[in-house]
Amino acid sequence: MHGLLLIDKPQGMSSFDVVRQVRRIFGTRKVGHAGTLDPLATGVLALALGEGTKLLQFLLAENKSYRATLHLGVTTTTLDAEGEELEQRSLSPQLLDNLDRVLAAFRGEIKQIPPMYSALKRDGVPLYKLARAGKTVERQARGVRIDRLEVVDCALPHVTIDVSCSKGTYIRTLGADIGEALGCGAHLSALRRLSIGAFSIEQCLPLDQLTNISQVRHTGAFLGLHQMLGDYPSVALNAAAAGRLRHGVSPEAADYACPETLIEGQTTRLMADGELLAVAIYIPTSRSHKPGDFELLRVLNPPV
């Protein structure tokens, strides 16, 4: 099978635990995921199968949304409930009065320092391995974007928030930074990913219901290659252009049709007979030193 499998990851498993289980069920090593979820977290885990793994780079760039519960007044080593407690602080009587003002400061473009307990690497070594060895290294702040940040429930010391954000956002770090801004500290006590791009939790199949391949084909949790990037414009190639594309030759104006006007620099799906052949950026020949109207980003092998 080639495409995307949407799984509702259970708590207590790592993302790779899920990948390992799917590899066993589908009998293939070609399985990858579009964004790690910590063992504490649940929710949308998008798994690419077969040729779909070539499209992961585009899914990784998609925005994501989460529901997160913060435990105010307690900080931990990992910034979540799996770490050791570092400090307890009292909650100010004015905390709720300050909450909206503090959250407003985190909307839009912000800077985050990645946590030590993360998969980022320093000299080839994951930071979490250094952290487990008791080491802390300097990390550069990175820019991320918070599009939505709203309180959905408040029962102190717990505050539950909904977050929509850009790729690369650490919700653990966001929660800890909000706690510091409130003056009490905080850690993440629960996290559920609600969406990745256009794919939502409602589409996902609970992992414990995944038993065999044939079952998946009859659920909305599996999408074919052409559906993985459904928001990208679809460009229909004629048979000759499709044949040349398989050898890495970019289509020219006479080779394709598109129901919408393409914009220079736009990422598109190059299709033939309903099959996704490639992902490419539209760059008209007149504006490029290369032949053809597209810069090929990923060319797929025909699914079998």
Please choose, from the candidates 72, 71, 70, 73, the residue with its C-alpha nearest in 3D space to the C-alpha of residue 89. Answer: 73
Distance CA 238, CA 207 (A): 40
Q: Do 257 and 272 contact (CB within 8 A), yes or no?
A: no
Tell me the β-bridge partners of 9.
Answer: 43
Residues 154 and 181: their CA atoms lie apart, in Å, by 17
Those residues with Cβ within 8 angstroms of residue 261's Cβ, 6 or more apart along the chain or in another chain:
none
Task: State the virtual CA torsion across 205, 206, 209, 212 in degrees, nearest 10.
Answer: 50
CA–CA dist 291, 304 (Å, integer): 30
Catalytic: which of 8, 17, 38, 123? 38
Instruction: Indicate if 38 belongs to the active site.
Output: yes
Tell me the torsion sign for CA atoms 62, 63, 66, 72. Answer: positive
E strand or H helix at 231? none
Q: What is the dihedral of CA 260, 265, 266, 272, to 10 degrees?
A: 80
Contacts of 201 (CB under 8 A, 6+ apart): 8, 43, 44, 192, 193, 194, 195
Please check whether residue 70 is in contact with residue 154, taking contact to mean a CB–CB distance below 8 angstroms: no
Compute the C-alpha angle 265/269/274, nearest 5°: 160
- Residues 110, 112: Cα–Cα separation, whole Å: 7
- Which are the catalytic amino acids? 38
